[in-house]
Chains A and B, each alone.
Chain A
Amino acid sequence: MGHYVLRRVLQMIPVFLGATLLIFLMVYSLPGDPIAAMFGDKAADPATVANLRHQYYLDQPLWKQYLHYMNNIFHLDFGTSFTGRPVSEIMADAFPVTIRLALVAFFFEIVIGLPLGLIAGLKRGSVADTVVLLLTLVVISIPVFVLGYIAQTVFAINLGWVTATVQDSRDISQLILPGLVLASLSLAYVARLTRTSIGENLRADYMRTAVAKGLPRRTVIGRHLLRNSLIPVVTFLGTDLGALMGGAIVTEGIFNIAGVGNVLYKAINQKEGPTVVGIVTVLVLVYLVASLVVDLLYAVLDPRIRYA
């Protein structure tokens, strides 16, 4: 196991370098001059422009810029945004907001998605099963931004249960609606995955054995069925936690939440190279770590899987 983790961590290095290089190249090959944009309509003093270019390493060849950037990252220095704010500070503001939102969404995926899948899977072909299948199909086929605007219109504007936008992201109650919208797609997948997995395992031989042992139904289901059926669901949830972090752009936009997605969106529009690269770098790291954790979790949940 230890060897496996070490190998995986070593494998992460080229993936990490490749991914950051790619995003670095894409951001800096965007048309338009960010320094000129900083001055807006005002005429810029050439000396100041040259100075700024030097300050942001923009007068260097791209590969030098990249090396310089990576070197700084290893010293936990993500550079300075063109507005003069350190990128690490921007991220320190945005990430906690997104993490809170992602956790709220994650919570809904588990407490709504799992039971729905369980009920549908245990009673295949029943009315409940059909309803779950239809509902999840609707959620999967409607784009998130449509769903988000509908939810906002109905619950905030028509019913007035919540505010239309999030005023204070530290107030979890304000994150409930955006959290549900953010969770919706994955929630539907969790429900369907659980349903399929339960349905498959229900027919397994070991379930017949569990019944033949005279175990009560709650033990047969809670112990034998769930322990097996939830393996793929748990691994999906693990991967999804990483995805929720970066996938909140649309939801954060609709509800005006100052999270990572929102900041990233604005930074891309303003060609804020350092901010974009900084955030994406951290997101890449989050994905890499999440996928390693999921693989290890798999081995813990399923003893047949051995990593060597």
Chain B
Amino acid sequence: MTTALEKTTAAKDRLVPGTPLLEVRDLHVEFKTRDGVAKAVNGVNYSVAAGETLAVLGESGSGKSVTAQTIMGILDMPPGRVTAGEILFRGQDMLKMSNEQRRKIRGRKIAMIFQDALSSLNPVLSVGYQLGEMFRVHEGASRKEAKAKAIELMDRVRIPAAAQRVNDFPHQFSGGMRQRIMIAMALALEPDLIIADEPTTALDVTVQAQVMDLLAELQAEYHMGLILITHDLGVVADVADKIAVMYAGRIVETAPVHELYARPAHPYTKGLLRSIPRLDQKGEELYAIKGLPPNLYKVPAGCAFNPRCDVATDLCRTEIPALHQVTDRDGAELAGRKSACHLWKETLHG
């Protein structure tokens, strides 16, 4: 165990200080469909460092999954197309790499956990085979070695009686156990970065916390970067270091988690936070942001949020707000805080 930890830590030390593990710069992705061109991702910027957890928040359809799929290189192409941007992994743009180079990063350096473990696991192959495949393909392990490692992994994610269950098929496990298997698969080669796309959404409420705790614990143990895509603001507060809020395919605000909760610098974030049910508000009607999520085939001009924003001005309807560096009242930069709102000052300080 210690050796594995030392090995990964050593690898991380080679990183130039200040260079994030993964940095997405101005990413644009669109889908060409019968109905036209859906601009699903319109300039996403975010970064994750080793050992850091970035939570990505946003309504359904805001482009969270598409961004993640583009990072993994598993976007459906066609209809999907990356039209601009860079995805730097350890400083190297993955979008410029060959297919073979990218394949060698997938699973080994960057792994992904999907929402629905039942459909994401192959129904006709045993879980032991699917776990062992990582070692057989990437490390040339023999069938026997791979099976032993699969059992070890199942133990690590605390699946009871792993040795007896290694030949079972996905449908023979409970939802929580299946998601543990997905986590084990992502963890297999001790990647530098894990992207978890709503890893607990499909689970019973009772096991959601267990699975999330396990993921957070393993992430800390292996000192991995984690991109956690979620709708659940409650989960975020517990495990994330920083948050990126997405709207209509853009990052509208990024901030360290507690600062964002305490003092949002974007009206959309403010609305999201107000819509969380809180114990001290019992009985009061739950707040909901008015209006509907934008139509990606026809994103509103200016700030995409303007039709739903209570404080929108004329400027908002014509000019797309840049992702501003947020400062405190004295003009000192607040580390890691950015907001894509013309009125971020008023929103933050007013």
Contacts and interface: CB of A to CB of B under 8 A. Distances in A.
9 contacts: A212-B112, A213-B185, A214-B107, A214-B108, A215-B103, A215-B133, A215-B137, A227-B122, A228-B124
B120 A209 contact: yes
A205 to B, nearest CB: 4
Shortest 9 CB-CB distances between A and B: which pairs?
A: A214-B107, A214-B106, A205-B119, A213-B107, A303-B169, A206-B122, A205-B120, A209-B120, A212-B112
A263 B135 CA distance: 59
A226 to B, nearest CB: 10
A204 interface: yes
Given A211-B74, A213-B185, A228 B112 contact: no
B111 interface: yes
Nearest to B100: A216
Contact of A204 (B119, B126, B138): B119
Contacts of B124: 227-228, 231, 301-304
Nearest to B167: A303
Given A228-B123, A303-B124, A304-B169, A212 B72 contact: yes
A224 interface: yes
Nearest to B116: A205
A209 B112 CA distance: 8
A216 to B, nearest CB: 7
Looking at A211, A214, A224, A231, the one whose CB has the most chain B CB atoms below 10 A away is A214
Interface of B: 72-74, 103-108, 111-112, 114, 116, 119-126, 133-134, 137-138, 169, 171, 185
A228 B74 contact: no
A219 B129 CA distance: 13
Contacts of A7: none
A208 interface: yes
A213 to B, nearest CB: 4
A156 interface: no
Contacts of B134: 213
Given A219-B137, A303-B169, A304-B169, A212 B122 contact: no
Nearest to A219: B137
Given A208-B74, A303-B169, A304-B171, A214 B123 contact: no
A214 B120 contact: no
A206 B106 contact: no
Contact of B114 (A209, A216, A227, A304): A209
A210 interface: yes
Contacts of A204: 119
Contacts of B119: 204-206
Interface in A188-216: 204-206, 208-216
A113 B112 CA distance: 36
Contact of A213 (B106, B116, B171): B106
Contact of B120 (A208, A223, A228, A303): A208
Interface of A: 204-206, 208-216, 219, 223-224, 227-228, 231, 301-304
Given A303-B169, A304-B169, A304-B171, A211 B120 contact: no
A205 B114 contact: yes
Nearest to A304: B171
A215 to B, nearest CB: 5
A151 to B, nearest CB: 38
Contacts of A210: 122
Q: Is the interface of A mostly helix, strand, loop or mixed?
A: helix
Nearest to A301: B124
Contacts of A219: 133, 137
A304 B123 contact: yes
A302 B171 CA distance: 11
B104 A212 contact: no
A174 B169 CA distance: 47
A216 B108 CA distance: 13
Nearest to B195: A212
A302 to B, nearest CB: 6
A219 B111 CA distance: 18
A214 B111 CA distance: 9
A210 to B, nearest CB: 7
Contacts of B73: 211
Nearest to A207: B122
A214 B122 contact: no
B73 to A, nearest CB: 8
Contacts of B114: 205, 208-209, 212
Contacts of B74: 208, 211-212
Contacts of B125: 223-224, 227
Given A302-B124, A303-B169, A212 B106 contact: yes
Contacts of A208: 74, 114, 120
A209 B121 contact: yes
A246 to B, nearest CB: 32
Given A205-B116, A206-B119, 13 more contacts: A208-B74, A209-B122, A209-B185, A212-B112, A212-B114, A213-B133, A213-B185, A214-B104, A219-B137, A231-B124, A303-B126, A303-B171, A304-B171
Contacts of B112: 209, 212
B174 to A, nearest CB: 15
B169 A214 contact: no
Nearest to A228: B124
B121 A214 contact: no
Contacts of A231: 124
Contacts of A205: 114, 116, 119-120
Contacts of A211: 73-74, 106
Contact of A303 (B72, B123, B138, B185): B123
Contacts of A228: 122-124
A208 B112 CA distance: 10
Contacts of B121: 206, 209
Nearest to B191: A214
**Max chain A CB contacts within 10 Å: which of B104, B106, B124?**
B124
Contacts of B104: 214
